[in-house]
Amino acid sequence: MRIKVCGVTRPQDARLAGNLGAWAVGMIFVPNTPRYLLPPKARAVRAAIPKGVLAVGVFRHVAASELLRVVRELRLDAVQIYGTVPRGIGVRVIQAVTLDARPLRGKMVLIEPVRTDSDRRAGRGPSRRAQLKTWKTARSWRATGARAILAGGLTPDNVAEAAAAARPWALDVSSGVESRPGVKSARLLRAFFKAGGA
């Protein structure tokens, strides 16, 4: 199973993810979020991503000029975009979509459970009900030929169940393998890759 480790903020975490068999490593360029990377740190993380592992930049409602600047400066292999996808990016695109979107045959689409405002305020992940709905949607999308990437609330404890239920094209994990926001736990990363079948 392909695994993308997202929200990476430290070079050592990027290296470990790659050495464990990650398909991709994600760096977040969304200001005012816990895992936001400023340029110097982003360059260090990018340099640590092993050859053959996709370097992915994560953006939300970003201007095309800023997106292209970061893509070129960091030599990104792909971008993950929340919002409108600008034209002419020149790299692979992972489009974050809502559960009611139409599946895009052959396209990489990120699908994750909806969290309520109370979940966010409490720092909780998505509810079990929201996860099950997302897993079902991901499975139906895969049947149409969409390259569904399953995210949201995945941990070493539930990744095997999620992968079996959703049968996604890839898995995306961030907070589920952290000791604190932005700091990946080597123990949890290893456990996730083992349970996720990477």
pLDDT digits (tens, 9 = 90+) for 61-113: 999 999 999 999 999 999 999 998 888 889 999 999 988 888 778 899 999 99
Q: So what's the pLDDT on residue 100?
A: 86
Where in the chain are the domains?
Answer: 2-195
Alpha carbons within 13 A on the beta-carbon side of 26: 25
Q: So what's the pLDDT on residue 181?
A: 92
- Mean pLDDT for the stretch of residues 143-151: 93
Q: So what's the pLDDT on residue 127?
A: 85
With a cut of 70, say whether residue 121 has pLDDT above it. Answer: no
Q: What are the phi and psi torsion angles at 162 (to 5°)?
A: -60, -45
The superfamily CATH assigns to domain 2-195 is: Aldolase class I (3.20.20.70)
Name the band, by pLDDT with cuts 50, 70 and 90, for residue 198. Answer: low
pLDDT digits (tens, 9 = 90+) for 5-14: 999 999 999 9
Q: What is the mean pLDDT of the chain?
A: 92
With a cut of 70, say whether residue 118 has pLDDT above it. Answer: no
Question: Per the confidence metrics, is the pTM higher than 0.85?
Answer: yes
3-state SS, the chain, equals CEEEECCCCCHHHHHHHHHHCCCEEEEECCCCCCCECCHHHHHHHHHHCCCCCEEEEEEECCCHHHHHHHHHHHCCCEEEEECCCCCCCCCEEEEECCCCCCCCCCCEEEECCCCCHHHHHHCCCCCHHHHHHHHHHHHHHHHCCCEEEECCCCCCCCHHHHHHHHCCCEEEECHHHEEECCEECHHHHHHHHHHCCC
